[in-house]
């Protein structure tokens, strides 16, 4: 297939040849070719939670979002915390991707678990890194004692594995819960898991990375206080990298009113004052990547009252339209979109395999979010009018025409 006269990020016009055995010529002067998105943070729910998502539906959602590689999290059922569970998970994933006929590129995180710290080094060549939940989230993976946390960072440094932290301080949020928990008010979630809950954990993780010389990736950074800590650490030469999410960039605590339980996510939505700080941190390179933290739950689960409603929201499909809408509003440059969605994650996680995967975006197309391929069937972005939609995703030489 040839996409004729397509724009590149560098501002040139080229004919993009895809060697897919199809001689069709597509007039593409209205399209822009970007490297396909790498989503470093998804929860595709296999095994055990497949009523929420699986790799057949998840892969379709990824392709719809111009994404051809994902890093999947270990908080499944059973959790991915041993070589055995890791291998079993891969078998299931490969079979579901075959069913979808979508050979999505993927890597898996191993979850750090107190009882299974010996497994970390064992699987180092089979995983993208170690995921540490410093505070409880969905599932019951958590490292909330200093001894185990030290051990993880020590192993990671020795084995040259990256530590990806869910940085929320378990003790502090447990202490706050009785004061703020209110089953009739989802917004209490942001009070229980307040800014200090995040900053305390980020501070500790940075100290450990510094002490042991480990490489640290701070997942879903959502506050200006975390940004300040990471900025300082980067200046001091600590090997620390930061991710933010679409929901922390585009939603704040006002969203509880319209979304109710659908807005409940860990770390929680923040006061609006944090949003400009996130955009500024992207501009300055303090935030390196955007991970969708695609965490689907069914609507039935999300409609439960506070305390029973699980945390997390889907998001993999709409990262690019959201960012292109921000581009139109002057909040971000095209170059930064490429850094955030593809380039930096490849560098940080040492993805050496090259690929010729592309996402072809119509930057001027405006459309409402109306549907999703995610098995959960809903999106917090539903009804939003966004400008800049992927029209084709190219993966391993195959062209996927999208019906956004």
Residue ranges binding ligand DOR (CB under 6 A): 43, 75, 137-138, 166, 265-266, 295, 311-312
244 touches, from Zn ion, ligand DOR, none (C-beta below 5 to 8 Å by class): none
Minimum distance from residue 265 beta carbon to ligand DOR (Å): 4
From residue 171, alpha-carbon distances to 181, 193, 197 in Å are 15, 11, 9
Q: Which residues pair with 359 in a beta bridge?
A: 34, 393
The C-alpha atoms of residue 269 and residue 249 are separated, in whole angstroms, by 9
**CB nearer to Zn ion: pick between 166 and 336:** 166
Other beta carbons within 10 Å of 299: 11
Minimum distance from residue 252 beta carbon to ligand DOR (Å): 16
Q: Of the ranges 47-55, 181-189, 247-255, 285-293, which one interacts with Zn ion (CB under 5 A)?
A: 285-293
Q: Does 317 bind Zn ion (CB under 5 A)?
A: no
46 touches, from Zn ion, ligand DOR, none (C-beta below 5 to 8 Å by class): none
Beta-carbon-side half-sphere exposure of residue 341 (alpha carbons within 13 Å): 29
* Beta-carbon contacts of residue 209 (< 8 Å; ≥ 6 apart): 153, 163, 215, 216, 233, 238, 239, 240
**CB nearer to ligand DOR: pick between 6 and 163:** 163
Residue of 39, 72, 288, 293 marked active site: 293
**CB nearer to Zn ion: pick between 71 and 324:** 71
Known active-site residue 293? yes
Q: Does 293 bind Zn ion (CB under 5 A)?
A: yes
Look up residue 237 and give its DSSP letter: T
**CB nearer to ligand DOR: pick between 166 and 336:** 166
Residue among 225, 217, 275 nearest 247 (CA): 275
Minimum distance from residue 107 beta carbon to Zn ion (Å): 15
Q: Of the ranges 2-10, 203-211, 236-244, 293-301, which one interacts with Zn ion (CB under 5 A)?
A: 293-301
Tell me the residue nearest to ligand DOR as measured from the CB: 312
The C-alpha atoms of residue 391 and residue 34 are separated, in whole angstroms, by 12
Q: Does 362 bind Zn ion (CB under 5 A)?
A: no
The C-alpha atoms of residue 29 and residue 9 are separated, in whole angstroms, by 13
**CB nearer to Zn ion: pick between 169 and 357:** 169
Minimum distance from residue 354 beta carbon to ligand DOR (Å): 31
The C-alpha atoms of residue 87 and residue 390 are separated, in whole angstroms, by 33
* Phi and psi, residue 372, nearest 5°: -145, 150
Q: Of the ranges 31-39, 118-126, 206-214, 290-298, which one interacts with Zn ion (CB under 5 A)?
A: 290-298
Minimum distance from residue 75 beta carbon to ligand DOR (Å): 5
Q: Does 53 bind Zn ion (CB under 5 A)?
A: no
Contact 134, 169 (CB under 8 A): yes
**CB nearer to Zn ion: pick between 291 and 390:** 291
**CB nearer to ligand DOR: pick between 64 and 222:** 222
Q: Does 39 bind Zn ion (CB under 5 A)?
A: no
The C-alpha atoms of residue 330 and residue 320 are separated, in whole angstroms, by 15
Minimum distance from residue 4 beta carbon to Zn ion (Å): 40
137 touches, from ligand DOR, Zn ion, none (C-beta below 5 to 8 Å by class): ligand DOR
Size of the site for Zn ion (CB under 5 A): 1
The C-alpha atoms of residue 6 and residue 44 are separated, in whole angstroms, by 33
The C-alpha atoms of residue 206 and residue 226 are separated, in whole angstroms, by 11
The C-alpha atoms of residue 109 and residue 43 are separated, in whole angstroms, by 11
Helix residue ranges, H only, 73-215: 83-100, 118-122, 146-159, 170-180, 188-192, 195-212
49 touches, from Zn ion, ligand DOR, none (C-beta below 5 to 8 Å by class): none
Other beta carbons within 10 Å of 328: 15
Minimum distance from residue 328 beta carbon to ligand DOR (Å): 28
Burial (0-12, 13-18, 19+ Cβ within 10 Å), 182: middle
266 touches, from ligand DOR, Zn ion, none (C-beta below 5 to 8 Å by class): ligand DOR
List residues binding Zn ion (CB under 5 A).
Answer: 293
Q: Which residues are catalytic?
A: 293
């Amino acid at each position: 297939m040839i996409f004729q006269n397509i724009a590149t990020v560098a501002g040139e016009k080229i004919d993009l040849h895809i060697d897919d055995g199809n001689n069709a010529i597509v007039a593409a002067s209205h399209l822009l070719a970007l490297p396909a998105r790498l989503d470093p943070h998804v929860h595709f729910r296999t095994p055990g939670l497949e009523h929420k998502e699986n790799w057949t539906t998840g892969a379709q959602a990824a392709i719809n979002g111009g994404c051809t590689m994902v890093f999947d999290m270990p908080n499944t059922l059973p959790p991915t915390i041993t070589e055995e569970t890791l291998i079993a998970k891969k078998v299931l994933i490969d079979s579901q991707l075959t069913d979808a006929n979508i050979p999505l590129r993927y890597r898996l995180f191993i979850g750090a678990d107190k009882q299974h710290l010996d497994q970390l080094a064992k699987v180092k060549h089979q995983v993208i890194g170690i995921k540490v939940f410093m505070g409880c989230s969905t599932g019951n993976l958590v490292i909330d004692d200093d001894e185990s946390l030290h051990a993880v960072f020590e192993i990671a440094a020795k084995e040259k594995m990256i530590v990806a932290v869910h940085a929320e301080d378990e003790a502090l949020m447990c202490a706050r819960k009785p004061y703020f928990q209110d089953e009739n008010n989802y917004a209490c979630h942001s009070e229980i898991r307040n800014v200090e809950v995040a900053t305390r954990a980020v501070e500790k993780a940075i100290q450990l990375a510094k002490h042991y010389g480990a490489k640290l990736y701070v997942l879903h950074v959502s506050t200006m206080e975390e940004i300040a800590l990471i900025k300082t650490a980067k200046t001091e030469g600590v090997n620390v990298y930061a991710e933010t999410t679409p929901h922390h960039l585009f939603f704040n605590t006002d969203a509880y009113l319209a979304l109710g339980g659908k807005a409940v996510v860990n770390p929680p939505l923040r006061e609006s004052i944090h949003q400009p700080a996130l955009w500024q941190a992207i501009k300055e390179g303090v935030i390196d990547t955007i991970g969708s933290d695609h965490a689907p739950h069914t609507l039935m689960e999300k409609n439960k009252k506070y305390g029973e409603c699980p945390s997390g929201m889907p998001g993999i499909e709409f990262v690019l339209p959201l960012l292109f809408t921000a581009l139109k509003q002057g909040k971000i440059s095209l170059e930064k979109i490429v850094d955030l969605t593809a380039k930096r994650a490849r560098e940080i996680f040492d993805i050496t395999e090259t690929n010729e995967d592309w996402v072809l975006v119509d930057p001027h197309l405006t459309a409402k979010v109306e549907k999703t391929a995610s098995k959960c069937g809903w999106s917090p972005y539903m009804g939003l009018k966004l400008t800049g939609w992927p029209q084709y995703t190219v993966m391993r030489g195959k062209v996927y025409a999208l019906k956004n």
